A and B are shown apart, each in its own frame.
Chain A
Amino acid sequence: MRAFVGADVYIHSEATSFVFVRNFKVKVTDALIAGEGPFRVALRFDGHGWLRMEALTHYETDEKGRLLLAGYDDRGRMNVALHLGKEPFPE
């Protein structure tokens, strides 16, 4: 996540059953992680912004250098997702 601090970042964020936002672009100033699993993540952006998510259980960096965080339940169903990329995600 540190690799995204100081950069313009495209974000996909969702609470799967309720809301998703895709490709909002922010300048990330801080990236914070807490917990011992599942994890809580907070981003500070644009000098006054907060994005906080919880229940994250998995992470991966894909072949395009995007950081994909997600929270699954014990049967593989997605509860939340938080993706960071330096290019827009496909619409």
Chain B
Amino acid sequence: MSKLEIAPVKKLLAVFAHPDDESFICGGTLAKYASEGVEITLVSATRGEMGRRMGNPPYLNRESMAAARELELKQACESLGIQHLHFFDIRDKTVEFIEEDILISRIEEFIRDLNPEVVLTFHEKLGGHPDHCAIGKATTAAFRRVAGNDKALYFITFGEEMKRPERFGYSRSDVFKIDVRAHLEAKLASFRAHRCQTEIDEWVWLPDHEALQRFGGHEYFLRGNTGAIARDLHDLFLSAPG
């Protein structure tokens, strides 16, 4: 047997609700891990086809939106380095009304097939939008059914709200803080890929050096299972033993 060992590829599965969740909320972190060779799979429950922003000035209508946002998401995935993209084909704004067992089973299948070390989703209470909470709840249930404690589940969080986790009933040891300062260009490119959603935000389209100043240097994640307990709070993956 050869003594040369090739380190197995690390894998991350993200299960979100709408195109743009991956970019707007945690794009820096996804770009960082992609750049380190992590294989990233993104599942988007919907195509965001019931969104309110139709371009500025508007060039989309309700019937053309799904295809447009799918294409935008593919471009954003390229910007961030996400290799695999899947949709659950659920209509936007209806995730909480889909039969939950079926949804959980579909996510379970992904976790089983991929066997990712890290799963990201929304917190079922702190997710904000009902679609976020619903996909977060189903993903959490699927993770608890099939993933062992050598795997880690994290909830994505908004902006810098988890700088003070006490306000949400969590402590600092529950919060992972990822340094994304080296990956803000990729994050900005992903914002611009989601053109119909960001055209309304003038700052996104300022010259790069100005637009980049709007991003925080860190993204925050909430621990979702005990498997993540002993980990370095600045890395979502368990560091390889020295």
Bound pair (A, B): yes
Q: Which residues of A contact B (CB under 8 A)?
A: 12, 14, 16-17, 20, 58, 60, 62, 66, 68, 70, 72, 75-78, 81, 83, 89-91
User: Contact between B62 and A77 (Cβ–Cβ < 8 Å)?
Assistant: no
Contact B57 A81 (CB under 8 A): no
What would be 7 A-B contacts, judged by CB atoms less than 8 Å apart? A16-B50, A16-B52, A20-B93, A62-B63, A76-B54, A76-B58, A77-B53
B96 touches A (CB below 8 Å): no
Tally of B interface residues using CB under 8 Å: 17
In the bound complex, residues from chain A placing their C-beta under 8 Å from that of B200 are 75-77
How many contacts A-B (CB < 8 Å)?
A: 52
* Residue positions of B touching A, CB distance < 8 A: 50, 52-58, 61-64, 66, 91, 93, 199-200
Asked whether A83 and B63 contact (CB < 8 A) given A16-B52, A75-B200, A78-B52, the answer is yes
Nearest first, the 4 closest Cβ-Cβ pairs linking A and B are A76-B56, A76-B58, A72-B58, A77-B52
Complex interface: chain A residues within 8 A of B53 (CB): 76-78
Q: Name the distance in Å between A62's Cβ and chain B's nearest Cβ.
A: 7
